[in-house]
Each structure stands twice: as C-alpha cells, then as structure tokens.
Chains A and B, each alone.
Chain A
Amino acid sequence: MDKAYFVQLFASGAAVALLVGLAAWARIAKPHGPLDEGKARALLEAEFPGRRLDAVWVASDGNGALAKSGGLALVICRLGDGYAGRQIPWAQALQASFRKGQLCVDLADVSAPKAFLNLPSWPPKDLAA
C-alpha cells in the first residue's frame, strides 16, 4: 500500500468526522416524543401486527415499553430516533433483573442484546403468576 492510500484514508476519516459533526449540529433527527400508552400500543401493533396485548407497561421516561401477549413478552426500546422490537418468552421477561428502577431485559439476540426500561417496579404483581 502506498502513501497515497493512507492520505486518502486519513482524508476520508476526517470527512466522516466532519459529516457526523454536521449531522449532530443540524438536529434533524426524526421527530419523536416520549411514548405514552397510546403511542406504545400503536408502535407495538406496527412491530408485532395482529398480536393481542394483554397488558402494556411504558417506561417512565417514555423510551420503551413492554407488553404481555399470551406467553410472550413484546419489548420495544428506543435506539437513536428509532425503535427496536423483540419478542421473548414471558417467563424470560419475568426473570429480568430490576435494579434502581431500571429493568434490564436480556433479549438473547446478537443484534439487540439488551433492552433497558425505567419502570416503577418489576415484576408486575398482578401478572407475575
């Protein structure tokens, strides 16, 4: 590899930094507010069409939600200005660790390893059984 390649590589790296900085400065991410129950249900319906929602818990900061759908837990969590959704067995969701008001759900997925949801308590007393 010649010197020109490394010059080109360095210039490309600098351009990447410039463009990322510009994107951050511009503040033109997709508009989104915190989730409330209505928005969370709409998002869950879009992510998991046709699924029955027995109960929905929305994160206190509006950055995600968890729903019970039969034997499954449907999880959505914010990533940047978008969301990622995964389903896991309900029993797995019940076993998620809960510390200092934050639920850490192991999604067992390489592309979405964990979801963090701020909730008042976990597991929910009425549905834990």
Chain B
Amino acid sequence: MKTFDPVTLATPLFILTIILEILLARLGKVRAYYEAKDTAVSLAMGLGSTMAGLLTAGVVGTATLWAYQHRLFDIPMTAVWAWVAIFLAEDLTYYWFHRLSHERRIWWAAHVNHHSSQHYNLSTALRQTWTGGLAGTWLLWIPLALLGFPPAMIAIQQGISLVYQYWIHTETIRRLPAWIEAVFNTPSHHRVHHARNPRYLDKNYAGILIIWDRMFGTFQPELDEEPCRYGIVKNLGTFNILRVAFHEWMGIAQDIARQPRHALGWLFGPPGWSPDGSRQTSAMLKAEWEAQRRQAAEPATPELDAAA
C-alpha cells in the first residue's frame, strides 16, 4: 500500500535547496560555508540513515500497531481537531525525545552524529543517525498510538516535523518576524542548539514549536555578541564515516569494559559524566564558564600594599 511520506516527497526539495545555497554562497549573496569532505559525511550519513532505518522498521511498526490495537480512544484521521492534536502531541513528544537525546549518554550516542559537523548549512540537516532505532527512543511515540492516534497519522506528523526541521539548518536566514521567533523553531533558535559555546549548550530542543523550550526552561535566544561556534564539545578529528557513526557507542563500550561496575553511569549519566569527575558534562562546562564570566565582570580588588 502506498502511504503519504512527507520526507520522500521533500527529497527533491532538499537537493534543490542545497544546490541553491551553495550557488548563492559562491556568488557571495548569502552566508553559507561548505567543505567538501564535511558535506560528503553529512550526506552519506543521511543516506545511510534511511537504510539503517529499514533494519528496525519492522520492530517499530509492529510495536506501534500493537499499541494501537490496545488504544484507549478512536481518533479519526479525517477530523481537523485530530490533526491539531497530533501536531501538538507529536511536537511535545519530539521535544522530550530530543532533550533525552542530549542529556543521557546512551541516547546521545545515537544523536551525536547530527551535531558533529563544524558547519551549519542545509547539508547538516541530513546528517542523521544510523543507530536511532537501536537506541529505542522510538518507544516515546508509542503512547500516541495507545491514546488512539492511527500509526499512519503519527508517521505522517513525524515526517512533517522532520521536513520542517530541514530548512532551519541554515545561516542564510538571520531573524524572522518577532511573532514567528516567539512561537516557532527558527534558523536562529536552532543555530543556538547546534552551537558548542557553553552558554548555548543543551538549549532549544524544539521540533516545530519553540514554546516547549520556553515552557520547560531550556530556551536561549541567539545573541549577536556571542556568535555560534558549531560542532560538539570535543570535535571529531576524523572524517572516517564509521567513526562518525559509531564513535560514542565505541566510547561507551570502552568505558564499560574498563569500569563495568559503573556501567549504569556510563550508559545513563549525562554525556561527559565520569565516576571520578575527571570529564566535563554540559552542566560543569556551563558552571565553569559562568564562574569565569563573573570573575571577569567583578571590579579588580584594590591592592592592599598600594594603600600602605
């Protein structure tokens, strides 16, 4: 049976807009940087992600169908209110999926790929995970089927969200009108999300609506005085695609092999967690940055011997 798949339908648009962004940047009309190897990795990750997704599609589909068979309500796909409801429910689910993907190492291992480019352009949007199905974050969407949203409806809304999030991966658009910036996730908000500046770490998890970040205290506007530096805290030192795809999983395996009694911490602690505190989590990096900032802002203490 043919189903409506927003991502497949949007694929020609992805290709055309990347061509357009590159050509306009080449002509000096917009701000965009592309590096060939980085672009190759981003696009290959995107292509690989679609193939990897097939490996777990059966499990995800079966689990969703099972949940739908045990649904609490019958929600019609033809009702407008049902589409408004799935839009809000899916976007809220995405927020928490995304937050979890940044705040717990096992899920960060699957999501880190998307952040590992030091660039922020439309090709970065396609740098997608190969191990998302394995990480099991798809379980977060199961309650929607249990509530009674048809699986096709959930899948379509997920596709719409993914397509929406494509166009915001760009530096060509600076700011949109204030009401849009207030309600929706925009290029400006998402640039912050991809930045590795301590101030910007673990902020703006939104999919389509930025209101969730405002509600749950994770919103951070982009500041002109602090340009975004893209990438991850410890940027990759290789373009090897297997390392790009699996490095955090390999890191977890090495850590657990070395200290098996801390396995739960290595898996479910925040990225950067270590039993002895020798590594730095986002919270530690932020605290350090905040302390340095306060120190720099404090007036210099008058020297005692100067008064003597």
Q: Using a CB–CB distance below 8 Å, which chain A residues touch chain B?
A: 1, 8-9, 12-13, 15-16, 18-20, 22-24, 26-30, 46, 49-50, 77, 79-86, 107, 109-115
A79 touches B51 (CB 8 A): no
Q: In the complex where A9-B51, A30-B35, A50-B288 touch, is A112 in contact with B22 (Cβ < 8 A)?
A: no
25 A-B pairs with C-beta separation under 8 A: A9-B51, A12-B11, A23-B22, A23-B35, A23-B39, A28-B33, A77-B237, A80-B35, A81-B33, A81-B35, A82-B118, A82-B231, A84-B234, A84-B237, A85-B234, A85-B235, A107-B237, A110-B251, A110-B254, A111-B237, A111-B247, A112-B237, A112-B238, A113-B238, A113-B243
Minimum CB–CB distance for A13 against chain B, Å: 7
> In the complex, given contacts A30-B35, A77-B237, what are 16 additional A-B residue pairs having Cβ atoms less than 8 angstroms apart?
A20-B43, A22-B19, A22-B23, A23-B22, A30-B33, A49-B292, A80-B35, A81-B33, A82-B38, A82-B118, A82-B235, A83-B235, A84-B237, A85-B234, A109-B237, A112-B238
Residues of B participating in the A interface, judged by any CB pair closer than 8 Å: 8, 11, 15, 18-19, 22-23, 25-26, 32-40, 43-44, 47, 50-51, 54, 118-119, 123, 229, 231, 234-239, 243, 247-248, 250-251, 254, 288-289, 292
A27 to B235 alpha-carbon distance, docked (Å): 22
Q: Which residue of A lies closest to B118 (CB)?
A: A82
What residue of chain B has the Cβ atom nearest to residue A84's Cβ? B237
Are A26 and B239 in touch, CB under 8 angstroms?
Answer: no
Residue A111 contacts which of B8, B236, B289 (CB distance < 8 angstroms)?
Answer: B236
Q: Which residues of A contact B38 (CB under 8 A)?
A: 80-82
Of residues A13, A28, A50, which shows the largest number of chain B Cβ atoms within 10 Å of its Cβ?
A28
Report the Cα distance A26→B21, complex, angstroms. 11
